[in-house]
Structure 1
């Protein structure tokens, strides 16, 4: 029977972030992460499939939170307001993790492979959000559009939140970004028919 290793997952994640920041993502090995955490490589692989997944841990939890919050939004509510409920719930994942999120973002921005993986994560979140909206009876195309808008709000709000001089809570920034989106779309001007006539 294996030895119990308290907080192994968190220790590995913190060690990985430290090393990625010090040496770079590509130059850091799983063995080094395990050693920094005071654990074995075998313990690392009990928690993560590879070093990349340390940075993307919790995606399934985020998808579930989004879906649950959208499902629980009061009736009647516009699709974009259900999206806001999902984003509010999602922001709780990041409570108390501002500095860790900043360091994670710096690692991702510096590596093409990780930026691509981040886009895949956003696509999965968008699909989960659209599916939750469809379960509420929102038409498929409207659900897809609202979900993509929600992911744009998440991406921009999150990037603002991890900026070096930003101290406001993520939830507040997501709400402000969503309000900006509403302003942009409210002033969208003539519809597609009017554009075709030009």
Structure 2
């Protein structure tokens, strides 16, 4: 437990938190997560042990130090779009996902090191699942508030597909796939938006079927990973395309 008890960490400047996170992840990559101590992280980052615990709850917390800020940025972006005349809330969700991807792309080396560290530690993988769900929940809540007439059977799969598509390409980018780029993500998210929601104006309900609109519902096992979910969504969209093509030719 940190000195002074379990109080929430004291807010620190984003650059200061990132410096500590960079030092911690580098040490985790070199020496292993379990073998690296808080004292070693603090010394490497040039801060005291007490300062470390003012900023973070634990070693696990420091690994995901930037996610809280990214989630807040995405929430602020969606809130601004909510009050922007003519903004399409479905497109705004895709834009928020692009914002998050862009931040990771800007810090690619650090993000890739963290990806390797997280994959090696079960507790960190579990923490990552919770973090990913936070983004999906943000997207779902935003659409539910801005498009209250839309059916949850449209909103929930849409938010899940955007999140899974983003995470799939993010992991590919961190693995070094040169095709996993922001333009590729933008293209894939536009495809998801057209296939699952359609191009109806934002004021129209997402709950009724209409020309050009398709709802794809994918049921996945609770243990399924993002890659499996993304593959399942792609498969269902392909089946829907084939069915549409057959209908047009009869």
TM range (shorter): 0.7 to 0.9
- 1:157 paired with 2:169, answer yes
What do you get for the CA RMSD once the two structures are aligned? 2.8
Residue 194 of structure 1: aligned partner: none
The 2-side partners of 1:62 and 1:143 are apart by 22
Residue 62 of structure 2: aligned partner: 54
Residue 106 of structure 2: aligned partner: 96
Match of 2:141 among 131, 136, 140: 131
The 2-side partners of 1:59 and 1:30 are apart by 20
Match of 2:183 among 172, 179, 191: 172
Unaligned 5+ runs, structure 1:
192-198
Do 1:157 and 1:174's aligned partners in 2 also have CA atoms closer than 8 Å? yes
The 1-side partners of 2:161 and 2:180 are apart by 22
User: 1:166 aligns to what SS in structure 2?
Assistant: coil
Shift of residue 173, structure 1, vs aligned partner: 3.7
Match of 1:23 among 15, 21, 31: 31
The 1-side partners of 2:24 and 2:147 are apart by 42
Shift of residue 168, structure 1, vs aligned partner: 6.1
Name the CA shift for 1:109/1:94 in 2 (closer, same or farther; >3 Å): same
The 2-side partners of 1:38 and 1:78 are apart by 44
Match of 1:44 among 48, 52, 66: 52
Residue 217 of structure 2: aligned partner: none
The 1-side partners of 2:124 and 2:68 are apart by 18
User: 1:75 aligns to what SS in structure 2?
Assistant: coil
User: Aligned ranges for residues 8-19 of structure 1 at < 5 Å?
Assistant: 8-19=16-27
Residue 120 of structure 1: aligned partner: 130
Name the CA shift for 1:167/1:48 in 2 (closer, same or farther; >3 Å): farther
**In proportion to residue count, which structure has more helix?**
1
Name the CA shift for 1:133/1:100 in 2 (closer, same or farther; >3 Å): same
Do 2:78 and 2:96's aligned partners in 1 also have CA atoms closer than 8 Å? yes
Higher relative contact order (CA closer than 8 Å, sequence separation 6+): 1
Stretches of 4+ aligned residues off by more than 4 angstroms: 179-183
Do 1:66 and 1:129's aligned partners in 2 also have CA atoms closer than 8 Å? no
Deviations 1:63-97 (A, max 9, x none): 33333434417636373x23212212223422520
